[in-house]
Amino acid sequence: MNRKILAAGSIAAVAALALAGCSGGTDAAENADPDAPVTLTLSGWSIDTTPEFQALADAFTEEHPNVTIELKEYDPAEYNTLVTADLAAGSGPDIITQKEVKYVTTFQEGGQLLDVSDVELPDGIGGADSYEVDGAQYAVPYRQDSWVLYYNKTLFEAAGVDIPDGSWTWDDYADAAEALTTDASKGAYLHRWQSTVQGFANAQTGTSVLDGDFSNLKDYYDSTLALQDAGNQVDFNTSTANQLTYQGEFGTQKAAMMLMGSWYTATLIAQQASGEANDFEWGIAPAPQLDSSTTGTDNTPVTFGDPTGFGINANIDEAKAAAAKEFLAFAASEKGAQTLAAIGITPALTNDALIETYFGVEGAPTDELSKFAWSTHEVLPENPTSSKTATIQGILGDLHTGVMSGSTSVDDAITAAEERVKNEVG
């Protein structure tokens, strides 16, 4: 589904949650004391550097003093595997953070997620459809990152290049990268993930990975390879061999531009404050567009991004179900969104008040284009909700590695991927 997130005035806060018990309700759930002490466990990852989990837990329990939320930390690289194992063993968390949309159906088909269709969501929230399976809701979004262009105003000024104005197509981006490349820094840094090419190609051409036709990727890969071959961005093999980090490349001014998800804002602010990143002026611009029909601040740029959400363990104690659902409603609400925006995290709900909070964080850019890029865009999902998505994305990951490493041509890689999807996915 296409989701348009616009800065268009205050959006009403979440409606009151119906206090229904899980699975249609039971006498025990319906007669439970709403003020009785409840302890919920919430899964997360990299908790020391990912403050959103504790921030939401603290804000919720401040309003619900009878509820205690304990964070259960997992290795981010093995998150879905480890959570699945705990759920199978009966030791899974009560509230399951949905880290990647492509695994939602794995949890749902395994009977591990509670139907949370009765958790009401505020108007204007993005990403809810990603958690809908066969007409039922199995999680709610609390954040909705989108991909934008980060740029170093200091390096632009030093090179005498005009900063982005929201009107860029990919040709403009390539021209700027060439003009910004010096002996000391590249014009752009493109991280190794397949998202950096395929996410834009699919969103801006209106193509789903489920289609099985990947011809739309060709022009985007040709453009990316041209930048790499010209030396205007670090090549894929060098980035891989040296395990370069996108935070290090942009944060230490080794690149003047970088396409990245909006989650990077909080990281960059924190790293500049700590000295891990250099002190320089930066901004956010809309991602370059396929053509001029979606450029300029009078139009709505097209980009991509998946939500992050919370689901509930289907085997949760009935006495905990109401409290868990209240937490989900809070996380999706304007109060929850304000909690996230105040620490530089992009909430799933966006309105004028939230824009002011987000850009009021010390160290955040204050220019109007940055606010426009963050708040106004059409966000299409990178990972459509389907049991086929994870397998197809694995195949497309191989395509990306083959093309970017130079081991196969774009045309051959696309043909091979299409054949693999036919044979392995159907």
* Same-domain check for residues 201 and 260: yes
* Same-domain check for residues 134 and 237: no
In sequence order, what are the residues at sequence separation of 6 or more whose Cβ sits closer than 8 angstroms to the Cβ of residue 121? 14, 128, 140, 329, 332
Q: Is residue 49 part of a domain?
A: yes
The count of C-alpha atoms lying within 13 angstroms of the C-alpha of 285, restricted to the half-sphere facing its C-beta, is 25
The count of C-alpha atoms lying within 13 angstroms of the C-alpha of 387, restricted to the half-sphere facing its C-beta, is 10
**Tokens linked to 193:** 């993930």
Give this prediction's pTM: 0.86
Report pLDDT for 4. Answer: 32
* Same-domain check for residues 13 and 78: yes
- The gap from C-alpha 389 to its chain's centroid, in whole angstroms, comes to 16
Q: Is residue 7 part of a domain?
A: yes
Containing domain of residue 359, as a range?
Answer: 3-143+306-373
Structural domain tally of the chain?
A: 2
b/e burial code for range 129-141 (CB count within 10 A of at least 16 → b): ebbbbeeebbbbb
Q: Is residue 127 part of a domain?
A: yes
Q: Is residue 113 part of a domain?
A: yes
Q: Is residue 289 part of a domain?
A: yes
Burial of 49 per CB tally in 10 Å (0-12, 13-18, 19+)? exposed
Mean of pLDDT values over 328-337: 98
CATH at 253: 3.40.190.10
* Same-domain check for residues 325 and 350: yes
Q: Which tens digits make up the pLDDT trace of 212-254?
A: 999 999 999 999 999 999 999 999 999 999 999 999 999 999 9
Q: Which tens digits make up the pLDDT trace of 44-68?
A: 999 988 899 999 999 999 999 999 9
pLDDT of residue 30 exceeding 70? no
Q: Is residue 184 part of a domain?
A: yes
Q: Which tens digits make up the pLDDT trace of 259-273?
A: 999 999 999 999 999
**Tokens linked to 233:** 């961005």
Q: Is residue 381 part of a domain?
A: no
